[in-house]
């Protein structure tokens, strides 16, 4: 698969993103219950402009959601990856890496000094991807979540942009 086109989401992507969210949901990376078919993907605080999407041959195969970790004015220099999903058929083919790189570039474009994220401890593939793109573990909350019958660590990672 050639590298996907990365672009900002548009309002008319909502149905495809909702489908992608439902298809990729897993306790490997999600702490919330699976999204319902009628649940909106875009929300007032998290609209199309908060999402970069990966498109391959006219089909959305992934997205990354960016936002601020808090609403505090003193924290506006930090952006956070608040969600990343890649369709099964695009996994291991560069879509996730392209989305992470696009998120880093977008954070820099917006003037952020840091880009952070949280990832579940048992999601070794995602942790390896983030580490290979320069993110470092900055903290671990042991057994923070109880998912699918097991306690799971919450791993905080960050990347300095300046």
DSSP line for 91-145 = TTTTHHHHHHHHHHHHHHHTT-SEEEEEEETT-HHHHHHHHHTT-EEEEEEEEEE
Reported as a single tens digit per residue, the pLDDT across 119-130 is: 999 999 999 999
pLDDT higher for 45 or 144?
A: 144
Q: Quick one: how far is CA 161 from the chain centroid?
A: 18
Distance in angstroms (rounded) separating the CA atoms of residues 66 and 102: 11
Closest residue by Cα to residue 67 from 40, 48, 85, 88 = 48
Confidence at residue 1, expressed as pLDDT on a 0 to 100 scale: 67
For residue 14, what are its two tokens? 């909502």
Mean predicted confidence (pLDDT) in 35-56: 94
């Amino acid at each position: 698969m050639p590298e996907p086109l990365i672009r900002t989401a548009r309002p008319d992507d909502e149905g495809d993103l909702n489908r992608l969210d439902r298809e990729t949901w897993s306790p490997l990376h999600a702490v919330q219950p699976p999204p319902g078919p009628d649940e909106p993907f875009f929300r007032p605080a998290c609209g199309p402009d908060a999402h970069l999407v990966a498109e391959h041959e006219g089909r959305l195969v992934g997205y990354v959601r960016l936002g601020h970790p808090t609403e505090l004015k003193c924290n506006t220099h930090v952006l956070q990856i608040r969600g990343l999903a890649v369709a099964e058929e695009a996994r291991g083919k560069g879509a996730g890496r392209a989305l992470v790189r696009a998120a880093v570039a977008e954070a820099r474009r917006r003037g952020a000094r840091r880009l952070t994220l949280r990832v579940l401890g048992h999601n070794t593939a995602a942790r390896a991807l983030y580490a290979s793109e320069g993110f470092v573990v900055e903290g671990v909350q042991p057994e923070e979540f109880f998912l699918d019958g097991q306690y799971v660590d919450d791993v905080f990672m960050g990347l300095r942009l300046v």
